[in-house]
Amino acid sequence: MSAQRFIGANSREAMNQVRLALGEEALILSSRMTDDGVEITALAEETSVQALASLPSTAPIEPGDSLMPVSAHHAAAAYANQIGTLSTQPVDRPAAANPRPETALDFAALGERLSNEIQDMRQLINRQAAHSDTDQGARSQLIRWLLEAGFSRALSEEILGTTPGQLQGPDATPARLQAWLAQKLNSQLNQLGDEAELFDNTRIIALVGPTGVGKTTTTAKLAARYVMRHGASQVALVTTDNFRIGAHEQLRIYAQLLGVDLHTPGPAAQLDSLLAELADKRLVIIDTAGMSQRDQRLLTQINQLGSSGLALRLMLVINAASHGDTLEEVVQTYRDAALAAGCRLDDCLISKCDEAVRLGPALDTVIRHGLRLNYLSIGQQVPEDLQLPATSTFLQQALDISRPALFAEKPGASKARQLDALVRGLLGQGRALSSLRDSLSNRITGFEQLLDVWSLMGNPHVLLQQRWAAFLSVQERWAPARPDGRLLWGAPRPVAGATWSMPLLAVNNAGQLAAQPWLTHRMPIGALPRLGWCQSRWPAHRHLWSTCPSLDIIDALQHNDLGWLGAVKGSQRVMYQGELKHLGTLATYSEDFGVRELRYRSRHVRLHLSHLPVTLKGSPQAPLCAWFGTLHDNHSGQSLGQRWWLATGNTPGALKDQVADLILQLTHDELPKLTGRGWALLIDIEPHLPAEMRLYLAAGLAATAIRLTHASDDWAFQARAQLLGLLPEKRASHASGILESLLHLLTVNDALSRMNTTQTSTCP
């Protein structure tokens, strides 16, 4: 993009033109006074570096032009130099020694104008400076959010190591930012997903923790949840708390209510012998005595638990209402004691969530130490007030900062834990990618099939061909479009610059594009046989074409009462009032149909529509509706060109459906180009991939990128933010950037799957 010149009556008007055309980030190359007013030469930011590199170092300098390009920071100085420039401008004749009064400069007016315009420049400087710090500002805002929620600065900076550009636009509402933070925390948090996993794989659970954190009540809650699943006969309770008055009695009451056995070994009794007697029980829950992390007897207690020789799961009860530094010491001390006793402490539950003003410190501690969070206790009721993390809203509660925080954690990062932070980050990234993959599979039809096809790439060539053929045989039985859906047909000829034709894609009645393409070369030869073949397998109500369909196709569609629309050129010849005319010449005769606002190729645009009844030569009895569209950029007002369409029927009732069709066709018209981009990237990734397999992946990923680009739902916002965060450089949420990030996702997902497979196969 070359530099552009803007002329206004004054600097304010000229600068407004720059903002409208090039945006707030435009770089000002020069500013000078001319006979027509103020002339500003500016360049869009994204091309400024390339443009500057191409400038010759010995380029002549025009009078009044700046030697180097300047940003808005230097704009005021550039304008101030104009006063001197006025006296050095070349003139046709010498100036009169005594100018006439009517031509003399009004210095008071000039000074006032200069003051006003310098103020405008300062405002522009402030806006550009604020925009240049958008990324840092967004990251700082999110870090402040986490700090106010009680999280440590160390974890906050670790989580927000990379802030996606998606979080900096106007769509980044506080609710969406909170949801994004919750998702990031969720990906970092190791948590119990299925309670059956805990109960079925564990025979002995020992609850440990400081005094008063709720171990006894939690013991009863766990027992009650087990009884509800498996009955009372298979569970036993054991209490080793011989210090607290009334501890045995409290647990005895719970045991009687549940109908389970309670065992209370004395101080001298051996715990291992008691556990051996309870070998017939499927689950034994031990309520231990509360021990301060600074109590010297803690190591003795943990040693007693670890000396039984049985597979025992230690579960630390963490008090959500405790200070973060206290929790840090508790976890570190208990884990060290467990390690010294020859056992591990990898599980925890958070108690007193109903009493804590901030859940951040507890969650922060759990995440940094890599503990698995099994439950959250939110009250005293047994067993109602014990929740699984997956069924709780604790992350939203943890990020609620509506109540001001009077205390803050001290910032700082531990050098000794940098490696642990890296490992946690990698594991968290893996969980985040798995969550993103599952979200796309659940939300976008066909994405799961893309994952299946991608997984075939690691197979030997012969096996790959066999499995690809098996996949296609299943694919033929897929019905992508319901009777109220649409089919998107590509041009009958190959895509420009390619040897392949655009595959067929389906859209449901909600306008949602499926990521499951059908390769046209596997269909019958010829447009009419293909249409019949599709209607027998994929009965769609409307068909959208990237060109004008042939007359026999139009006749077949109208015979079956199927709607259609085709994107055409202005040179398309139609019959109007008995004369054959080019469609582009008929716009003046069309009837206005209003303006639609939409997102087109990552820009917010206005589409001005009008329509006109026409027919085609050779089919005068088939009434058609010609549509004329003019696109303008919402921000700058710049014209983005004309568009034309032909559609079946011109009755008032059909117009609404036709507008929906043409908007759908317009917003998806970059599919061929995007598919070509995917094709090229896949060649770089896997050069020997079979061509039709590469085309299937490229078209499916292009459809996914288009779907994510246009979706305005919260889940799509989160998905875009996660995807763009995978790229090494920050990119705007354009379809091409999302396409590249989808390839990153599939590559990393495949690598993680192979790692998991390798680890599983090598485990004894």
343 lies in some domain: yes
Pick the more confident residue, 683 or 124. 683
Q: Within this chain, do residues 387 and 244 fall inside the same structural domain, yes or no? A: yes
514 lies in some domain: yes
162 lies in some domain: no
What is the token pair recorded at 18? 């720059």
Q: Within this chain, do residues 576 and 704 fall inside the same structural domain, yes or no? A: no
Considering only 3-17, 22-36, 37-51, 86-100, which range has the smallest mean pLDDT? 86-100
Considering only 454-468, 598-612, 666-680, which range has the smallest mean pLDDT? 454-468
Residue 310: burial class (beta carbons within 10 Å; 0-12, 13-18, 19+): middle
Q: Cα dihedral sign for 220, 224, 225, 226?
A: positive
Q: Within this chain, do residues 508 and 635 fall inside the same structural domain, yes or no? A: yes
Considering only 50-64, 594-608, 742-756, which range has the smallest mean pLDDT? 50-64
Considering only 390-404, 440-454, 732-746, which range has the smallest mean pLDDT? 390-404
- ∠ CA 221-225-230, nearest 5°, is 140
Q: Within this chain, do residues 634 and 716 fall inside the same structural domain, yes or no? A: no
Provide the pLDDT confidence category of residue 607 given band limits of 50, 70 and 90. very high
- Please compute the mean of the pLDDT values over residues 342-358 and round it to a whole number: 88
Residue 494: strand, helix, or coil: coil
- Please compute the mean of the pLDDT values over residues 122-128 and round it to a whole number: 52
412 lies in some domain: no
- Rounded to a whole number of angstroms, the distance between the first and last alpha carbons of the chain is 62
Total number of domains in the chain: 4
- Residue count (the chain): 764
pLDDT digit string (tens) for 255-271? 888 888 888 876 545 77
pLDDT digit string (tens) for 530-580? 888 887 777 778 899 999 998 888 888 888 888 899 999 999 999 999 899
Q: Within this chain, do residues 540 and 646 fall inside the same structural domain, yes or no? A: yes
Percent of the chain topping pLDDT 90: 20
Q: Within this chain, do residues 390 and 436 fall inside the same structural domain, yes or no? A: no
Q: Within this chain, do residues 353 and 256 fall inside the same structural domain, yes or no? A: yes
Pairing of strands 542-545, 486-489: parallel
409 lies in some domain: no
- Residue (of 534, 501, 495, 543) closest to 519 by Cα position: 501
In this prediction the pTM is 0.59
55 lies in some domain: yes
Q: Cα dihedral sign for 579, 581, 585, 586?
A: positive
Provide the pLDDT confidence category of residue 625 given band limits of 50, 70 and 90. very high
Is-cis flag, bond preceding 728, omega within 30?
A: no
Provide the pLDDT confidence category of residue 582 given band limits of 50, 70 and 90. very high
pLDDT digit string (tens) for 379-401? 888 888 888 888 778 888 888 77
pLDDT at position 194: 84
Provide the pLDDT confidence category of residue 18 given band limits of 50, 70 and 90. confident
pLDDT digit string (tens) for 93-121? 334 444 444 433 344 444 455 455 555 55
* Rg (the chain; Cα; Å): 35
Q: How far apart are CA 138 and CA 134, in angstroms?
A: 6
Q: What is the CATH number of the domain that holds 285?
A: 3.40.50.300
Q: Within this chain, do residues 693 and 753 fall inside the same structural domain, yes or no? A: yes
Q: Within this chain, do residues 343 and 456 fall inside the same structural domain, yes or no? A: no
Q: How far apart are CA 701 and CA 723, in angstroms?
A: 13
Domain boundary among 669, 696, 714: 669
Q: How far apart are CA 176 and CA 167, in angstroms?
A: 9
What is the dihedral angle through the alpha carbons of 107, 113, 119, 124, rounded to the nearest 10 degrees? -130
**HSE value, Cβ hemisphere, 13 Å, CA-based, for 35:** 2
Domain membership of residue 706 as a residue range: 430-472+674-762
Pick the more confident residue, 335 or 176. 335
pLDDT at position 245: 56
pLDDT digit string (tens) for 207-263? 998 988 888 889 999 999 998 888 888 899 988 876 665 557 778 888 888 888 888
Q: Within this chain, do residues 273 and 384 fall inside the same structural domain, yes or no? A: yes
pLDDT at position 635: 85
Domain boundary among 108, 132, 156: 132
147 lies in some domain: no
pLDDT at position 24: 65
Q: How far apart are CA 533 and CA 203, in angstroms?
A: 60
- Average pLDDT of every residue of the chain: 78
Q: How far apart are CA 7 and CA 14, in angstroms?
A: 6
What is the token pair recorded at 427? 């594991």
State the helix-helix crossing angle for 691-710 and 735-762, rounded to 10 degrees: 120
Q: How many helices (H) and strands (E) does the chain have?
A: 25, 21
Provide the pLDDT confidence category of residue 30 given band limits of 50, 70 and 90. confident
Q: What are the residues facing 642 on neighbouring strands?
A: 630
In the predicted structure, residue 92 carries a pLDDT above the cut 50: no
Pick the more confident residue, 616 or 133. 616
Q: Within this chain, do residues 334 and 275 fall inside the same structural domain, yes or no? A: yes
As a three-state string, the secondary structure of 344-391 is: CCCEEEEECCCCCCCCHHHHHHHHHHCCEEEEEECCCCCCCCEECHHH
Q: Within this chain, do residues 484 and 355 fall inside the same structural domain, yes or no? A: no
Q: Cα dihedral sign for 693, 698, 699, 704?
A: positive
Residue 607: burial class (beta carbons within 10 Å; 0-12, 13-18, 19+): buried
145 lies in some domain: no
What are the backbone dihedrals phi and psi of residue 553, each rounded to the nearest 5 degrees, phi first? Answer: -65, -45
pLDDT at position 681: 92
In the predicted structure, residue 581 carries a pLDDT above the cut 90: yes
Provide the pLDDT confidence category of residue 759 given band limits of 50, 70 and 90. very low
Domain boundary among 132, 151, 177: 132
Residue type, 523: M
